Structure 1
Amino acid sequence: MLLFPLLVFLAVTLAIVGLFVWLTPTRAQQRLQVMAGQEGKSPWTESVVKILAPFAQLSTPPDMERASPLRIRFLNAGIRHPDAYLVFFGAKTLLPFVFGGAAFLVLRASTQLSGMSLLLDIAVAALLGCYLPNIVLLFMARRRKREIFESFPDAADLMLVCVEAGLGLDAGLTKVTDEMRVKSMALAEELHWTNLEMRAGGTREKSLRNLATRTGVEEIRTFATMLTQADRFGTSIGESLRVFSDDLRHKRQVRAEMLAAKVPTKMLIPLVLCIFPSILMVILGPAAIQIIRTILPMITGRA
């Protein structure tokens, strides 16, 4: 009797392991991609793009200039693939049919719903599938912004140390980029793109503004404005960085205290739904059983 479940478990496990090995590139493949300038791309990504591209044409806006805010959202989430919008709009086209069909099959198999109730449930499932890519993109951007915000005070302190040690601002950015790879790859990647942009001939002001736009973090926008004003008016960059880094550390501390203050409120839901019923059952259960055994015969006249 146990042979069939074991075989099913073994088959599913081997399928998952095989899929993971197939999708994960080896070190040699990663080095070849880096040398060929195709870092971040994989055969799996290209296959997904080819599958979803025909569906993306059904929901892609006719004027792609309107998609510039969407491009900024992709950059905030760390997505730089040129065909990312095809996957996004393809998923928005395909997922409503998938979710609607799945909801139809599940509801018809498990319940006896029909008519308007069934159509309403299918419409809700399709609407969820339509907005699921937006929700995933929002959570990815929010998580990346939080990581950059929490790591940026350390980067500002490193920048201050580099400037006070005698390095220029461009050399300090390069040094900070190398050091921040240990803590935050997202921030190090954005600083690396800023360094490349300045080396390619872009002005420091424009490069820093592009950095603020790509990250979507307000503190980095303030950092770019501060460095631009310090460079334009000839004020001390080291003193400006010292004041700015102190303010960033204070903001990070206030944010941590605010999140810690929300913990008791967030714990109320699992306490009320999971822990309190168990405690009440353990404490009041035996007493309730004894009361029922004593009073019920008296009520029914069997005492």
Structure 2
Amino acid sequence: MTITPALLGALALAAAALAVSLCGVLAFGRHLRMQRSARTLDHALQDRAAASLSAAAAAAPATRLTPPPARGLFAALARASVAWLDTPFGRIAVAPEDRRLLERCGYLDVRARARFLAARIVGALGAPLAVFAVAHGGLSSARFMLLMFMALSAGFMAPKWFVRRRAQARQRAVENELPMFVDLLRLLQGVGLSLDQSLQVMIHDFGNVLPVLARELALAQAQFVTGRTREQSMKRLATSYENDDLAAIVRLIIQVEQHGGAVQDPLKQFGDRLREARRAALRARIGKVTVKMTGVMVLTLLPALLIITAGPGFIAVVHALAGLHR
């Protein structure tokens, strides 16, 4: 078999990947001995939180808090990746920014972060292998190595792009659900229900209307039941979605929990302000659509209008000029 530069580069890349894997195995063994007790305590706390969330899910069938356990090769790889999260490679592959994106998507447990790490490893190894199988021998060595590097980068970043798109979609859903949430809270408080009862009604009966916020409220209620204060349990809801209006509503709920008082008038004013902000945003979108439609009309309707209005005159001028030449 002839050794080409492309084949030599692929072998060097495979050797480098093997060396990185061996270093990771050694680091894993070292950190496994050092952090066994810490992981045991962490898993015990997670099992307790999962038990409370399961109880809340059984009490609220309309709001699905925990996804069904995954099976298969990828799930096995994710379970094996749990131990890699505490290694230096795991901290780099699943950075604090990635953890915040996962929390914004609703992936809160350590298994979700492990699946994210496994997806990055599979993408970083699978994409270069796919490129090597398809483009081997058809490109020069420099272009082949550049394509392999691009495939490695794309495979490593693809899970983050997916998680970021899902986080943005959930953030938009929260913005759309917030006016309905404020109106429901004002209505339930107005009929005499306590704050706890109002939140429970929204979780159990309005899960289809508020799919994202109902799930977040169910998680906050589960943490509140396990002994955390209202402020601690709703802190993630106030900070994860980077929404000032949602943070203000959470602060209002905490103040009502701590000091009491009537909240119908503040909630009414807040709901009116949210609706006015949505109307302003819709007017801005309509203005942008009008500007875009102007270009479309110029490109499509103006030629037809010129043909209809100026066409007969242009044809008459052509016939008159043809008659002069006879």
Q: Please tell me the TM-score bracket, short chain as reference.
A: 0.5 to 0.7
8 Å CA contact 1:180, 1:187 repeated in 2: no
Residue of structure 2 equivalent to 1:42: 69
Residue of structure 2 equivalent to 1:191: 217
Residue of structure 2 equivalent to 1:73: 101
| Deviating more after overlay: 206-215 vs 238-247 | 206-215
Q: Residues 118 and 192 of structure 1: is their aligned pair in 2 closer, same or farther, counting only changes over 3 Å?
A: same
Cα distance between partner residues in 1 of 2:292 and 2:143: 34
With normalisation by structure 2, the TM-score equals 0.61
Cα distance between partner residues in 1 of 2:106 and 2:290: 33
What is the 5 A alignment of 1:104-115?
Answer: 104-108=132-136, 112-115=138-141
TM-align CA RMSD: 3.7
Residue of structure 1 equivalent to 2:239: 213
Q: Residues 60 and 126 of structure 1: is their aligned pair in 2 closer, same or farther, counting only changes over 3 Å?
A: farther
Cα distance between partner residues in 2 of 1:164 and 1:88: 44
Cα distance between partner residues in 1 of 2:259 and 2:222: 25
1:70-91 CA-to-partner distances (Å, cap 9, x unmatched) read: 3332121122343112221122
Q: Residues 123 and 264 of structure 1: is their aligned pair in 2 closer, same or farther, counting only changes over 3 Å?
A: farther
Q: Residues 42 and 168 of structure 1: is their aligned pair in 2 closer, same or farther, counting only changes over 3 Å?
A: same
Unaligned runs of 5+ in 1: 1-30, 284-303
1:191-247 CA-to-partner distances (Å, cap 9, x unmatched) read: 112222223332222222232234443322121123334555665322221122122
8 Å CA contact 1:92, 1:130 repeated in 2: yes
Point out which structure has higher relative CO (alpha carbons under 8 A, 6+ apart).
2
Counterpart code for 2:158 = L
Shift of 1:164: 1.3
8 Å CA contact 2:101, 2:163 repeated in 1: yes
1:238-291 CA-to-partner distances (Å, cap 9, x unmatched) read: 22211221222223333334444444677899x7xxx97xx99xx9xxxxxxxx
| Deviating more after overlay: 242-251 vs 205-214 | 205-214
Counterpart code for 1:93 = I
8 Å CA contact 1:52, 1:87 repeated in 2: yes
Matched, 1:224 2:250: yes
Select which of 186, 191, 213 maps to 1:160: 186
Cα distance between partner residues in 2 of 1:71 and 1:94: 19
Residue of structure 2 equivalent to 1:19: none
Q: Residues 108 and 85 of structure 1: is their aligned pair in 2 closer, same or farther, counting only changes over 3 Å?
A: same
Cα distance between partner residues in 2 of 1:69 and 1:153: 28
What is the 5 A alignment of 1:128-167?
Answer: 128-167=154-193
Residue of structure 1 equivalent to 2:39: none
Counterpart code for 1:135 = W
Count the aligned residue pairs.
Answer: 240
Identity of aligned residues (%): 22
| Deviating more after overlay: 211-220 vs 171-180 | 211-220
Cα distance between partner residues in 1 of 2:114 and 2:152: 19
Cα distance between partner residues in 2 of 1:126 and 1:267: 41
With normalisation by structure 1, the TM-score equals 0.65
Residue of structure 2 equivalent to 1:175: 201
Matched, 1:251 2:274: no
Select which of 119, 123, 127 maps to 1:99: 127
Unaligned runs of 5+ in 2: 1-53, 59-63, 308-326
Secondary structure of the corresponding residue to residue 234 of structure 2: helix
Cα distance between partner residues in 2 of 1:140 and 1:162: 31
Counterpart code for 2:68 = K
Q: Residues 47 and 219 of structure 1: is their aligned pair in 2 closer, same or farther, counting only changes over 3 Å?
A: farther
Shift of 1:53: 4.9
Cα distance between partner residues in 1 of 2:80 and 2:172: 35
Select which of 92, 111, 121 maps to 1:83: 111
Cα distance between partner residues in 1 of 2:199 and 2:120: 39
Counterpart code for 1:103 = V
